[in-house]
Amino acid sequence: MQNSIAILDFGSQYSQLITRRVREQQIYCELHPWNAPRTQVFANNPKGFILSGGPASVYADNAPQIPAYVFESGLPILGICYGMQALTHALGGKVAPAPQQEYGLAHVKTLLPSALLPPGEQRVWMSHGDRIEQLPQGFASLAKTDHAPIAAMGDTARGYFGVQFHPEVNHTPGGRELLRRFVIDICQAAPKWTPSSIIEESIQRIRDQVGKKNVLTAVSGGVDSSVATALTHRAIGGQLQAVFVNNGLLRKGEAENVIRTFRETVGVRLHPVDAVDDFMDALRGVAEPELKRRIIGEKFIRIFEAQAKLLGSPPFLVQGTIYPDVVESSAPDRSQAQRIKTHHNVGGLPEEMQFELVEPLRYLFKDEVRTVGEVLGLPAELVWRQPFPGPGLAVRCLGEITPQRLERLRAADAIFTEELSSAGMLRLHRPLTRTHLPASFGSTSGRESLGVQVGTSQAFAVLLPVQSVGVMGDQRTYQETVALRAVTTEDFMTADWAQLPHDLLGRVSSRIVNEVAGVNRVVYDITSKPPATIEWE
């Protein structure tokens, strides 16, 4: 990779977001711990460095420091928040506690226009308790706020810059343009990170890894496993075999759609396994959420293990690991790697199976995965599928799981989905970025304000083990309750409840009560995350 940017993570909650913003400029970049070895950081021949924010103070004992190889490289540097302070500290400037902290929105006024900052004033997002008291030699103050006399600094000769604010967040409208100026204008990185280049490089890596040996993949209908399977099939064709385990916990018509898509659209050799009865038997009488998850994960692993043996135990296994999974396990102060989507991505298979993992999406974010899926020709309803939990409807059917209650939930969920789709509020549409817009599309600030289109980020029905009295046809009923959940979010770390039109909610409620036997009450969840989670279990 000849046009990459290296991002060093000093512990900021926004570090992954910096990476995504650089990728939006069609520039490949990787996020590394601040103390990553030189060989790791320079593996992709970076053309510049971005230093993230972080919670520490640079003058504190054992505070993270910039590795010497960053300065020895002679490459441009952009320090963000803590990164700016670390740059100042390392080069002989002075950082001290600010008499007035800045958290939240602020207005930055450019003092000295540069390759990084345009003239004028802009709104930014601040989050700092320290500030620059004395600039390092060779630097000039580029911008200020009411409480920070040095809100941005630069040494143009060396290509070293720092900003006290966070350009990566949406609350800084000009942030995307600032990052574009740094990676393209200052670092001279060429925008070559495109879907076609991603596919080409992934295909070559897969072929180099597996050679002529056979490969196994587990498909669930989820976006990650589907795109990983399609990409691997594009690379090695008939060497790939797929296993689909129908656990009976999928949404209405989903099992049939998965089988049809992978056989007809992708063309992969698919081996469906009807394990509905096995899962229902294992879950009989179980109501505790975590126990449900453990039972489903264990059952899936054992069924998949048996299928793998029937298919000759191929030495390679495709897994839909994506970049946030990788980052989470290697970021600073996060030494304990988290097990992510264990049974959903077959991450917990027994060691004695001795699979070598094939991870074609390992360096991609979710939005990049979706774009690759589109280019590979996968159906839009699969590529833009809303998140669905690994344990399926088991965690949306609260209380004991029975075939009857699952059918009740499936029917209610299908009605909610149909009505949202008819109203144009179901799908998470691709965000519009600078590269997707015509040159005549207004001002830079107008382009930067665009994001996810109107609609729900995730929406579903939940069946509650709560019965209430109702009246139907002049007769008393005592039946279950369905809760509707719909949220809007950009990152799923936080979420707000979707303010759906009342007439839409009314139609959904009326249809569920009239069409779903055993339900006489519908409620709508208006709780944000936090304090609630998106899923109920």
Query: Which residue in 29, 81, 187, 397 is the catalytic one?
Result: 81
User: CB of 186 within 8 A of CB of 50?
Assistant: no
Return the structure tokens found at 103.
Answer: 């958290």
C-alpha span between 130 and 85 (Å, rounded): 8
Q: Which helix (H) or strand (E) holds 118?
A: none
166 is catalytic: yes
Q: Which of the following is catalytic: 128, 166, 233, 344?
A: 166
With 0-12 / 13-18 / 19 or more C-beta atoms within 10 angstroms meaning exposed / middle / buried, residue 379 is middle
The CA distance from 367 to 167, in Å, is 20
The C-alpha angle with vertex 195 and arms to 442 and 356, in degrees rounded to 5, equals 145
**What tokens does 222 get?**
């989820």
List 24, 30, 168, 254, catalytic entry = 168
Burial per residue of 479-505, b for 16 or more beta-carbon CB atoms within 10 angstroms, e otherwise: bbbbbbbbbbbeeeeebebbebeeebb
- Residue type present at position 49: F
How many whole angstroms separate alpha carbon 130 and alpha carbon 399? 50
* 271 included as an active-site residue: no
The secondary element (H helix, E strand) that includes residue 206 is helix 195-210
Distance, CA of 131 to CA of 151 (rounded, Å): 8
168 belongs to the catalytic site: yes
Q: Say how far apart CA 78 and CA 6 lie, in whole Å.
A: 11
**Strands 458-472 and 475-488, bridge-based pairing:** antiparallel
Which sequence positions are flagged as catalytic? 81, 166, 168
